[in-house]
Chains A and B, each alone.
Chain A
Amino acid sequence: MTSIPASVVRSPSARLGRALAHGDVPYRLITVAASIVLILLVVSFGLMLWITSAPTRTQFGLQSLISSDWNPSGEIFGSLPFVVGTLLTSLVGLAIALPFSLSIAIFLVELCPPRLRGPVGTMVELLAAIPSVVYGLWGLFAFIPAVVKPLGDFLLKLLGTPTNFIYLPFLSGPFFGTSIFASGVILAIMVVPSITAITRDVLLAVPAAQREASFALGATHSETISKVILPYGMSGILGAIILGLGRALGETMAVTMTVGNVSELPTSLLNPGYTMSSVIANEWGEARSLLHSSALLEIGLMLFATSLLLNVLARLLVWSVSRKNPDQRG
């Protein structure tokens, strides 16, 4: 039996004194307080949007979601064109960004010489650092005239003309340049960095033992990538895509400058449109009536809720990949 020396045993007050002296208590207080403030902030966002959008919610109910009549001077607020515009621009953006992001991520992790991996990865991430208003300017004055307009005209002529053998109504005119298609392409460039970066991290988290197992069975590199590495990281890649979708849904400035801002239900991707974030940005200053500002706040609420949900879902999926490493199981 050995007893603890008396000098080691401290009274509770002495322990508290020591904790204070070494800064444990203040340190804990500061970090906990900061975290609580952040949680309160998110809650108050939702609460504020819910309360301030009450007038339109009570007056129109779900009607505002299925009506495409947006007439502020007539006090009629149907937000369907914006919902549709946001969904279409985001989906076009995602559809274009996805093959690029996957290819870049696979290149960076699997094929790129190690010396180039850092520089190329950084270049991709730098795309995310460009302010979105600069994307808007560049899109409007350089990218749309040089690339989107000719490409759109080509698609219109090839597939969007009713007299053609193949006629796809969602590629019909009129086409002026600024359009859902143009915004989608620019959104694609804007979300490529985030999807690429997360996909790269997900692929890097695939254990080397999985690669080796596949190679040892006589698989080629491309078979290993498509049959082992991508399936292993699939839920994480899905998370990256959803995170990219979340970014595209909320993107405001670049879209407002390139989408055309026409509050009619678009019938074609080449038509100009309007998005939820754009209408808030454009009309906030002139929303004099209670109902008008309430309608904009309701759109804000929908955007907020959607992005929040998508982000939670995406992070759960990304997290599931790093967690399922079989090496850590018994």
Chain B
Amino acid sequence: MSETKMSTASNGSTGAQANDVYQKMHAENLSIYYGKFRAVAEVTVPVREKMITAIIGPSGCGKSTLLRSFNRMNDLVAVARVSGKIMLDGLDIYGTDVDVVEVRRRVGMVFQRPNPFPKSIYDNVAYGVKLNNTRIRKGDLDAIVEDSLQGAALWDEVKDKLKQSGTALSGGQQQRLCIARAIATHPDVLLMDEPCAALDPIATVKVEELMQELKKQFTIVIVTHNMQQAARASDYTMMMMMRSDRAGEMIEFDQTKKIFTNPRDKRTEDYVNGRFG
């Protein structure tokens, strides 16, 4: 694990003053239920602007469930409900008069497995843009598609085959296409649910490098099983564990450097050092 500590130490972007950074989102006393089962219990956590916040923890501790509540994807599950608040720029996204479509436009998402539409590369990226702006001019749309593919570090590989199907790309390219698709609508926050879980090591490195570029523009929350990835790529880390009643709770949140070198909780130390999970 010395490698982990080294790379964390070299991650200089998290200065001591980072705690003062604007809280783009924060969960307040958030619990998530599936029917009577409580999957996530009383989480309070900040998401700081233009920082990468990693959510780590053993399987089944509710990491993805928590992440999916940040853009209300859990609404698609009929029996899911939440209590508590998730604030986005001071507004509770679960508030009564909030438009869920608007929430998802401002909080984009990249999934565990690349899921491009069986449409052309161009149409994949243009999809979300055209939803919000049906009368967009062709030239403007072309520019957004190019910018987004540039932003996802995919442009050079696909600029000559924009009409080809997005599903014909390699797994790593598909995932970057999904990132391009997500940033094309200029969300404020980008949620990434184990975005490298289905990728090979080289594609994983590319996505991690890409995240460092993306955080200049976007606030990122990433769920990961990969300790090295959390240590290398994130500024803040939130550690979750399953309680005895099977509900996931947050046991520690801090700057990534601290979580990986000097955690307060013994369980965090054991987990990041690979003693369980």
Q: Which residues from chain A sit less than 8 Å from chain B, CB to CB?
A: 114, 207, 209-220, 223, 227-228, 231-232, 324, 326-327, 329-330
Contact = CB atoms under 8 A, between A and B. Distances in A.
B132 A114 contact: no
Given A330-B170, A330-B171, A215 B117 contact: no
A213 B115 CA distance: 7
Nearest to B107: A216
Contacts of A228: 117
3 tightest Cβ-Cβ pairs between the two chains A and B = A218-B105, A217-B128, A209-B115
Contact of A114 (B78, B115, B118, B170): B78
B71 A216 contact: yes
Interface in B58-109: 71, 73, 76, 78, 101-102, 104-105, 108-109
A212 B101 contact: no
B23 interface: no
A217 B181 contact: yes
B119 interface: yes
A219 B131 contact: yes
Nearest to B101: A218
Given A216-B71, A217-B131, A232 B118 contact: yes
Given A216-B108, A217-B105, A218-B132, 11 more contacts: A209-B111, A209-B115, A210-B115, A213-B117, A215-B104, A216-B71, A217-B104, A217-B131, A218-B105, A232-B117, A327-B115
Given A324-B118, A326-B167, A217 B78 contact: no
B115 A326 contact: yes
A84 B182 CA distance: 52
A170 to B, nearest CB: 36
A200 B243 CA distance: 41
A329 B167 contact: yes
Contacts of B102: 218
Contacts of A326: 114-116, 118, 167, 174
Contacts of B234: none
B52 interface: no
B113 interface: yes
Contacts of B108: 216-217
Contact of A218 (B104, B115, B118, B119): B104
Nearest to A218: B105
**Most A Cβ at <10 Å: residue of B71, B108, B115, B182:** B115
